[in-house]
């Protein structure tokens, strides 16, 4: 980003001062600690009032700030652009900048896999275009405009991850970004506490088409009936991916080992695709990326190479090493029943001369059926394939009960969230150099604290 402060003022419908034409803004930040010199500081209102940190932002190099008009005016060393609402101003500025750079926009949502899919799509599109993508999980009302404003001027395609935990959120984000292509990875149970049913989650996910251009396309998981039945009346082009014969892009001959999966696609049967991830669910994420590349008419061989070597956002199903050489499959950022079952199925097939050990933490925001959903994971935990199960959190007690008739008492160990140090210590005592261990939980359980104690360079 590079704009004169006077241009930013006009974009926000503020009459600029003449001297603002001499001030060049090179970035936008809402965090005074991470701010780079040359930034516009936007003090947002949340648990903390960002206006309290304006002076710190200026000390760190902010050249200008936004100032919400319901706050008492302050005597600042830099220009203050007065706005009614700083979050709305951030969004409006991003809308202006998006129109100025005018890239193609690919928006990605889904109950699971959207970050991995975003990374895969960006890798595939980078074979031909200058691509910018969402950093980490900047996927909400703040993250999406920040992603837009972080674009380099030469950006040709912007890949934007969009999350949601309530109705109307995806509609707002979609209308802000106005995507050329929208992608829905899957419908799961994430945030079902707020929606009640998977059908209502599907309704909320379909809000991503609210801002979809009329000549754009919706790419979605064709194996999900809830999506199929909701897309029949769309005026935009639709394209499906999955494992069923009716899908436009169907995966066949899926083979996984400990570190990768290979598959073929009916549209290109002569090409063998490989991704550095395990599990059929990640193959579907790759199909979504291939579908986007196909829409942009990219070379299939170049797409295959990009998928084989793509860089993944940290803590998304990544293999790490323990201090003693044991293999760790870390997936500690998020969890829901569908995602947990899929990774458990994949993990059970990982070849090892040692033990397979599972560490599971509570899956949050599941509502009234949370106990039943946790217990349902027992169907995917076979004592012939899994040696020991470590459980963290009160909801996982339901899984412990469900496993009681399958495992001996010493093979299922439960811990409260505040006992993660004890969990890590016990795990380290058991973990042998030839073992493999899976860590999976919602981020709120913070299993990354266990990971940090057992993994080398975590």
Q: Which two tokens stand for residue 322?
A: 């323990």
Helical residues (DSSP H) of 378-419, grouped into ranges: 397-403
Could you count the other beta carbons within 10 Å of the beta carbon of residue 132?
Answer: 22
What's the CA gap between 206 and 236, in Å, rounded?
Answer: 13
Query: Is 110 one of the annotated binding-site residues?
Result: yes
CB 252 within 8 A of CB 264: yes
Q: Which two tokens stand for residue 339?
A: 């995602």
How do beta strands 104-109 and 157-161 pair? Answer: parallel
Query: Is 154 one of the annotated binding-site residues?
Result: no
- Nearest of 129, 111, 164, 141 to residue 341 by alpha carbon: 111
Q: What is the CA radius of gyration of the chain?
A: 24
Beta strands in 340-386 (DSSP E): 356-361
What is the CB-side half-sphere exposure of residue 278 using CA atoms within 13 A? 22
Query: Is 32 one of the annotated binding-site residues?
Result: no
What's the CA gap between 357 and 386, in Å, rounded?
Answer: 6
Cα separations (Å) of 272 from 120, 128, 301? 16, 21, 9
What's the CA gap between 124 and 112, in Å, rounded?
Answer: 20
Q: Which two tokens stand for residue 254?
A: 């899926």
Phi/psi at 274 (5° precision): -135, 135
Q: Coil, strand, or helix at residue 354?
A: coil
Query: Is 116 one of the annotated binding-site residues?
Result: yes
What's the CA gap between 398 and 263, in Å, rounded?
Answer: 36
Q: Coil, strand, or helix at residue 369?
A: helix
Query: Is 115 one of the annotated binding-site residues?
Result: yes
Phi/psi at 186 (5° precision): -170, 165
Q: Which residues are annotated as a binding site for ATP?
A: 110-116
Q: Which residues are annotated as a binding site?
A: 110-116
């Amino acid at each position: 980003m590079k704009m004169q402060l006077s241009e930013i003022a006009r974009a926000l419908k503020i009459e600029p001062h003449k001297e603002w034409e001499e001030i060049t803004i090179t970035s936008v930040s809402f965090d005074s600690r991470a701010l780079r010199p040359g930034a516009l500081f936007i003090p947002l209102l949340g648990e903390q009032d960002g206006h309290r940190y304006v002076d710190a932002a200026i000390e760190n190099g902010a050249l200008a700030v936004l100032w919400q008009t319901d706050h008492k005016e302050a005597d600042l060393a830099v220009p203050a652009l007065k706005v009614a609402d700083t979050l709305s101003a951030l969004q409006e500025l991003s809308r202006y900048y998006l129109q100025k750079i005018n890239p193609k926009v690919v928006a990605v949502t889904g109950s699971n896999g959207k970050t991995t899919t975003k990374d895969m799509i960006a890798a595939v599109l980078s074979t031909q275009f200058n691509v910018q993508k969402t950093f980490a999980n900047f996927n909400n009302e703040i993250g999406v405009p920040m992603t837009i404003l972080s674009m380099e001027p030469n950006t040709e395609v912007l890949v934007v991850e969009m999350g949601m935990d309530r109705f109307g959120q995806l509609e707002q984000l979609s209308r802000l970004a106005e995507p050329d292509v929208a992608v829905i990875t899957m419908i799961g149970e994430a945030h079902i506490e707020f929606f009640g049913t998977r059908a209502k989650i599907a309704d909320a996910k379909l809000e991503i088409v609210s801002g979809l251009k009329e000549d754009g396309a919706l790419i979605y998981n064709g194996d999900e009936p809830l999506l199929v039945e909701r897309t029949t009346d769309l005026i935009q082009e639709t394209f499906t991916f999955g494992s069923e014969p009716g899908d436009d892009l169907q995966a066949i001959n899926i083979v996984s080992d400990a570190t990768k999966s290979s598959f073929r696609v009916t549209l290109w049967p002569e090409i063998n695709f490989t991704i550095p991830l395990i599990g059929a669910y990640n193959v579907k994420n790759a199909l979504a990326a291939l579908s986007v590349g196909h829409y942009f008419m990219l070379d299939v061989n170049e797409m295959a190479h990009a998928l084989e070597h793509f860089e993944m956002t940290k803590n998304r199903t990544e293999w790490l090493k323990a201090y003693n050489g044991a293999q760790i499959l870390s997936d500690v950022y998020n969890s829901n029943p569908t995602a947990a079952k899929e990774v458990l199925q994949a993990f059970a097939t990982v070849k090892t001369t040692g033990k397979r050990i599972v560490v599971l933490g509570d899956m949050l925001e599941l509502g009234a059926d949370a106990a039943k959903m946790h217990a349902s994971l027992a169907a995917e935990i076979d004592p012939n394939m899994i040696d020991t199960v470590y459980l963290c959190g009160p909801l996982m007690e339901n899984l412990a009960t469900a496993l009681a008739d399958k495992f001996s008492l010493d093979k299922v160990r439960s811990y409260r969230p505040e006992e993660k140090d004890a969990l890590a210590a016990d795990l380290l005592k058991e973990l042998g150099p030839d073992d493999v261990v899976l860590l999976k939980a919602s981020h709120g359980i913070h299993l990354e604290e266990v990971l940090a104690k057992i993994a080398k360079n975590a």
